[in-house]
Amino acid sequence: MLDELEREKDVQKRGSWFASGGVVASFFAFIGASCCVLPIILVNLGVSTTLVAKLGFFARNQALFQWVTLALLASAAFFAFRNGRPSMRVIVLLVIGFALAGVAYVLPSYEREILEWLNLM
């Protein structure tokens, strides 16, 4: 009985770690997907152009970040829901991760419209 509870806590902790990694990777995928929009916004906000130039790393590796994101989030969902209902923290992390991953996947399709909207401001 005690061994089973320990194993269940370990599985929940593993799902939490994968979910946290998925959120971080999906954030990097989002940065990579917004390769044209994000630098313009950051420069207009007064961020140094040297820092903005460093974002090119994320744009070059956008596909890698998206695949890592999907792998981490799928692993997190598997481990989280494997033994019943996960904690609310894991569910929130999964929702945030999947939302950012979805935006990172769709954003390049709408970059032109976003850039036109930013020029109208």
Closest Cα to residue 79, out of 23, 26, 27, 9?
Answer: 9
Question: Hey, where are the domains in the chain?
Answer: 21-120
CA distance 70 to 42: 27
Q: Token digits for 63?
A: 């596909």
Closest Cα to residue 73, out of 114, 48, 35, 104?
Answer: 104
Q: What tens-digit pLDDT sequence spans the chain (121 residues)?
A: 556 666 666 656 666 777 777 777 777 777 766 666 667 667 777 777 777 777 777 778 878 888 888 888 888 888 888 877 778 888 888 888 888 888 888 877 887 787 777 775 5
CA distance 86 to 80: 5
At 35 the three-state DSSP class reads coil
Global pTM value: 0.67
At 47 the three-state DSSP class reads coil
